[in-house]
A and B are shown apart, each in its own frame.
Chain A
């Protein structure tokens, strides 16, 4: 019988597939908001079950920044640019989610036993979820061509890291969590500004069209 923590962890994996795969920007952003809401719920569940008071404060901060502020910012960006659906990803709309989820799960299966050894909270399914969400974010960057989807991918791997932090290092000083969160918000704001600039110069959000520089 699965407990609440495992159900929430599985839900966070499923939402990562949604954020990654949904073509419509608005749906994708809403799914991200749902994912972050689940993350916040996990924070509160952990706080309650493991007597980790810090996590309720993290949960509250994450609610305002990641469930409310970042989705609002991205929705505003989508509205401003008047874009609806993303451009064709690398290897197509059907195959890319399969590749991303397949590899993410495989990597998380391989790594989670090491995490389990040191984690403050030794729960296998949430640890696997943290690695899967992180890897889905990384694959989002690699496989999706849309600048907005790449920002969402950044937000997603950020969620994975926050879940890892909550499980493995919830007793770390608050300044650590605050620092990481501040960086993330600035990163999303800066990436949104650059996405607007990108749209202005390239007439599209498809970053694969930017190939004037050869690396």
Chain B
């Protein structure tokens, strides 16, 4: 298929599916078939598009306003794979919610429709070459997902949705300021209104843009996109939203959305890094922000007994890990940061979907009340274990690979103090997690168990995610490594 057509399709198909679900009658069978079929088509189209940019080619559409390069390819991969598996899981999850009268069929219809709209906005943010459109798309991700989070009505859900829209909107206002400033500073050099908006043109003229302005722009971009990505200290919306939203919404938010916001920051990181300032400025800012984020998350993790809040703090911690990777920089550091986006996406999608199972089995999210999961629901317990092992960086699981590379880069570049702090942060997370996992998995359950192991159909996408975590942890997936190599070259301007 023509790549330009493919780019158009990966953008437009989710929008069509969303509209279709929105306008159809609320017959759950038909809606589910369209939701499932749509999710699979979106994934196939996404992966086909990524295949075209593995070797570093870049394709443009709509007068260069949209494009797909290897950096975008990394993120389209997350949207395609994590998106489809979470969307498949959401079918069973929503069925349970309707059965337990937590939501109505009308809510399911809304959720399915919004989940495809959400995929559309995230894909849009990844494909945008125009920096304003990228901002518009990232803001639109908040707007399209807010009612996915607040699908369960009630006090807590409303509070979390309000926090989400307010904090992210304030944060992104700073990102918009960064965008306006970058355009303005870029225009004085490029002198063409259309191309000054394009990331590709700004990259090629980065050295001519005023360096003082770029410093301010990067700080504004960090506040803006960093808020949405969950960096401390503006991370406070994240634990509330992830803990209150339905499991598939949390999985999608944590698995994909945070990374899309991060991509916004990576684009600015690349421009400023390729300017006369060099990478030193952006790296030092990222390392401070990353370490702060890892520590804040690690400290909050210790006292978390709510399984969803625990995983939410993990999302923050791992966004910190990615920031630290970008902070150490170098080819390997950026490679590791990008690898981590995928590793974390699969792991976190699995983790949050497992919490869906856990809530169905125990009817609670409090790990202190659980126990004996290994006997009650062995597959869920194993999947939970795989998620936790990967999250804490056990060798053989995907996250270990990227964390290992980050530490390797840090040591070779001589950043001993930051790396020591980074390792301490990871150790705190390791201890906190395993103690929680033990509470939930072994011993006696302190609550009335609602049901045993969940249906195979529900577990199938989770097993696929677990398999991917192990595959990426053990094997070298050549096409993925080529894609990452091409992406890193674009970022460092080689």
Contact = CB atoms under 8 A, between A and B. Distances in A.
Q: Tell whether A and B belong to one assembly.
A: yes
Interface of A: 111, 114-115, 117-120, 134, 137-138, 141, 147, 150, 154, 157-158, 161, 164-165, 168-169, 171-173, 175-176, 179-180, 182-183, 186-187, 190-191, 194, 197-198, 201-202, 207, 210, 212-215
Contacts of B130: 173, 175-176
Contact of B158 (A115, A157, A210): A210
A115 to B, nearest CB: 7
Interface string B172-201: 010011001101110110000110110000
Contacts of B165: 187, 190-191, 194
A117 B183 CA distance: 13
B244 A213 contact: yes
A131 B243 CA distance: 36
Contacts of A111: 216
A175 B135 CA distance: 12
Q: What are the 3 closest A-B residue pairs judged by CB atoms, nearest first?
A: A179-B136, A215-B236, A176-B132
A176 B188 CA distance: 18
B103 interface: no
B60 to A, nearest CB: 16
B212 A197 contact: no
Given A169-B187, A171-B193, A187-B143, A180 B136 contact: yes
Tell me if B's interface is mostly helix, strand, loop or mixed: helix
B32 interface: no
Contacts of A173: 130, 193-194, 197
Contact of A134 (B140, B173, B196, B244): B173
Contacts of A202: 155, 158
Given A117-B213, A157-B170, A179-B133, 4 more contacts: A168-B181, A173-B197, A187-B169, A207-B162
A95 to B, nearest CB: 21
Interface of B: 65, 130, 132-133, 135-136, 139-140, 143, 146-147, 150, 153-156, 158-163, 165-166, 169-170, 173, 176-177, 180-181, 183-185, 187-188, 193-194, 196-197, 210, 212-213, 216, 236-237, 239-240, 243-244
Contact of A215 (B212, B216, B239, B244): B239
Contacts of B156: 212-213
A159 B454 CA distance: 51
B379 to A, nearest CB: 31
A39 to B, nearest CB: 16
Contact of B170 (A117, A120, A141, A183): A141
A159 to B, nearest CB: 11
Contacts of A157: 170, 173
Contacts of B236: 215
B177 A164 contact: yes
A117 B136 CA distance: 26
A198 B158 contact: yes
28 contacts: A118-B181, A118-B187, A134-B173, A138-B173, A141-B170, A147-B162, A154-B169, A157-B173, A161-B173, A161-B176, A169-B183, A169-B187, A171-B187, A173-B130, A176-B130, A183-B136, A187-B169, A190-B147, A194-B158, A194-B165, A197-B150, A210-B158, A210-B159, A212-B159, A213-B159, A213-B160, A214-B239, A215-B163
B153 A197 contact: yes
Contact of B163 (A138, A190, A213): A213
A194 B136 contact: no
B90 to A, nearest CB: 22
Contacts of A175: 65, 130, 132-133
A89 to B, nearest CB: 15
Contact of A210 (B135, B143, B155, B193): B155
A211 to B, nearest CB: 8
B345 to A, nearest CB: 24
B166 to A, nearest CB: 6
Contacts of B154: 201
A141 B169 CA distance: 10
Nearest to B167: A141
A118 B143 contact: no
Contacts of B237: 215
Contacts of B188: 118
A70 B481 CA distance: 49
Contacts of B239: 213-215
A207 B196 CA distance: 41
Nearest to A179: B136
